[in-house]
Amino acid sequence: MKKKSRGEKIVVVIFLIFFAFLVGWAINKGIKLDEENECLKWQKQAKENSAFYITPNQKIGCDFIGIRINAPVKGGE
């Protein structure tokens, strides 16, 4: 088996760093999309059900990403 040169090792390390960055970005993007979909689901439920309410954590999360939910906030006291 042939030993890798210093240049080949550097290329492998750069590739691994890039790959790790890409995987991290994809996971982060997926989490953000999931959070947005949850807020949109709650927003729809609030429009359809007058008894619907959200928790303080749901309100904080949805406010942070810019989705307003017109529902009372209950719990967390």
pLDDT tens-digit readout, 7-27: 999 999 999 999 999 999 999
Q: What percent of the chain has a predicted confidence (pLDDT) above 70? A: 96
8 Å CB contact between 69 and 54:
yes
Token pair recorded at residue 65: 């990403």
Token pair recorded at residue 9: 């090792």
Domain locations in the chain as residue ranges: 28-77
Q: What percent of the chain has a predicted confidence (pLDDT) above 90? A: 88
Considering the entire predicted model, what is its pTM?
A: 0.74
pLDDT of residue 72: 95
